[in-house]
Amino acid sequence: MQIGIVGFGHLGQFLVERIQKEGPKTGLKLAFVWNRNSDKLKDSVPEELILHNLLEFPKRGADVIVEVCHPRIVKEFGPQFLSQSHFLVGSPSALSDPDLDQQLRSVAKLHGKTLYVPCGALWGGPDIQKLNDCGTLTALTVRMSKHPSCFRLSQDLLSDWSEGEGRRVIVSGPVAEICPLAPNNVNTMAAAAIAGSTLGFSGVRGELVSDTALKDYHVVEVEVTGVDGFTVKTVRRNPAKLGAVTGNATYNSFWSSLLVCRGHGGRVYLC
Ligand SMILES: NC(=O)c1ccc[n+]([C@@H]2O[C@H](COP(=O)([O-])OP(=O)(O)OC[C@H]3O[C@@H](n4cnc5c(N)ncnc54)[C@H](O)[C@@H]3O)[C@@H](O)[C@H]2O)c1
């Protein structure tokens, strides 16, 4: 499988290095790497694999394109990517825009390409999806708690935090409303809203919690409710560096997701 990587931040660098190291044994090969500032690629990526103009991605013939930069790139290029290749969307919070969500689903169907959504830090994603597909999912809540330095918020909701202040709920409500406030911190909630598509971004609830005690890990709590009193509650502790948006185990989770992307038809597939 030829892989195109779009974005060369933490996750992009991790994936490029891993494909370079483990590519032959996993059957993955780099088709191209793009970053908005291509100088950043010079020392790590062979010149022939650097894509300078993203509009020229079709010339590289990637089987799978992986977005690991920003929801804005999903909006701008996602439908074009999907018309040519399978597409692993690293910033699924972009799908909280119902028009884009619909457009991506239509393009996937039309071209027989798969829109892959990585579970990331969401534990039990496929189980939630099964419950959803049986029509027996009635409620879903995802709470993400991190040290305040780990949040990247688009509004000034947390600038006054001080070390030792403890726990504070930053925002609580439908995932659709939380995505624009914290586009880099809500991919797990977005994956939950996609797995639980009968509830969707407006029906699945999220909560972002700042907690100064969480210096070494992030916590993701998922509460699933089904019919006849069915409930599941999971608590995932993910070791993370202070100030890191992404917990350590999420990198490996993303790599496992990439290994799944071999084509599952024209649909959305949680992996
Ligand atoms: N689904 C998951 O499990 C998961 C896990 C971690 C990160 N993410 C998401 O993946 C993306 C990358 O994460 P990361 O940790 O590598 O982030 P990062 O900040 O380390 O890297 C982001 C890269 O994208 C570039 N970028 C930022 N905004 C851009 C824009 N508007 N246009 C073009 N390029 C832009 C930056 O220059 C940087 O090179 C983020 O959206 C993040 O929220 C998803």
Residue 154's pLDDT is 86
Q: Tell me, yes or no, whether 222 and 183 share the same domain.
A: yes
Residue 245's pLDDT is 83
| Ligand 1 centre distance from Cα of residue 60 (Å) | 22
Specify the residue for token string 């799944």.
Answer: 260
| Ligand 1 centre distance from Cα of residue 138 (Å) | 32
* Position 183 pLDDT exceeds 90: no
| Ligand 1 centre distance from Cα of residue 8 (Å) | 8
Q: Tell me, yes or no, whether 110 and 131 share the same domain.
A: no
Nearest CA to ligand 1 atom 19: 9
Tell me the pLDDT tens digit for each residue of 37-73: 999 999 999 999 999 999 999 999 999 999 999 999 9
Q: Tell me, yes or no, whether 184 and 134 share the same domain.
A: yes
69-96: average pLDDT = 96
| Ligand 1 centre distance from Cα of residue 200 (Å) | 23
* Position 21 pLDDT exceeds 90: yes
123-151: average pLDDT = 96
Nearest CA to ligand 1 atom 7: 246
Q: Return the ligand 1 atom nearest residue 12 CA.
A: 16
What pLDDT band is residue 244 in, cutting at 50, 70 and 90?
Answer: confident
Residue 248's pLDDT is 84
Q: Tell me, yes or no, whether 26 and 116 share the same domain.
A: yes
Q: Return the ligand 1 atom nearest residue 117 CA.
A: 1
145-172: average pLDDT = 94
CB-based pocket (< 6 A), ligand 1: 7-12, 35-36, 68-70, 72-73, 90-91, 118, 120, 184, 187, 245-246, 250, 254
Stretch among 26-35, 184-193, 200-209 having the lowest mean pLDDT: 184-193
Q: Return the ligand 1 atom nearest residue 11 CA.
A: 16
Percentage of residues in the chain having pLDDT higher than 70: 100
Residue 153, domain CATH: 3.30.360.10
DSSP state string for the chain: -EEEEE--SHHHHHHHHHHHHHHHHHT-EEEEEE-SSGGGGTTTS-GGGB-S-GGGGGGG--SEEEE-S-HHHHHHHHHHHHHHSEEEES-GGGGGSHHHHHHHHHHHHHHT--EEE--TT-TTHHHHHHHHHTT-EEEEEEEEEE-GGG---SSSSSTT--TT--EEEEEEEEHHHHTTT-TTT-HHHHHHHHHTTTTHHHHSEEEEEEETT-SSEEEEEEEEEEGGG-EEEEEEEEE--TT-SS-HHHHHHHHHHHHH-S---SSEEE-
Q: Tell me, yes or no, whether 95 and 14 share the same domain.
A: yes
Nearest CA to ligand 1 atom 25: 69
Q: Tell me, yes or no, whether 14 and 109 share the same domain.
A: yes
Residue 58, domain CATH: 3.40.50.720
Query: Which range of residues forms the domain containing residue 58?
Result: 2-121+251-270
108-131: average pLDDT = 96
190-199: average pLDDT = 96
* Position 138 pLDDT exceeds 90: yes
| Ligand 1 centre distance from Cα of residue 245 (Å) | 10
* Position 29 pLDDT exceeds 90: yes
Nearest CA to ligand 1 atom 2: 120
| Ligand 1 centre distance from Cα of residue 203 (Å) | 26
Q: Return the ligand 1 atom nearest residue 184 CA.
A: 43
155-182: average pLDDT = 94
Q: Tell me, yes or no, whether 102 and 85 share the same domain.
A: yes
* Position 247 pLDDT exceeds 90: no
Residue 45's pLDDT is 96
The pLDDT mean for the chain works out to 95
* Position 184 pLDDT exceeds 90: no
Counted domains in the chain: 2
216-227: average pLDDT = 97
Q: Tell me, yes or no, whether 233 and 259 share the same domain.
A: no
Q: Return the ligand 1 atom nearest residue 14 CA.
A: 16
Q: Tell me, yes or no, whether 61 and 153 share the same domain.
A: no
Provide the whole-model pTM.
0.93
What pLDDT band is residue 27 in, cutting at 50, 70 and 90?
Answer: very high
> Which of 64, 56, 53, 76 is closest to 27 using CA atoms?
64
* Position 249 pLDDT exceeds 90: no
Q: Return the ligand 1 atom nearest residue 70 CA.
A: 41
Q: Tell me, yes or no, whether 166 and 85 share the same domain.
A: no
Q: Tell me, yes or no, whether 177 and 85 share the same domain.
A: no
Q: Tell me, yes or no, whether 81 and 144 share the same domain.
A: no
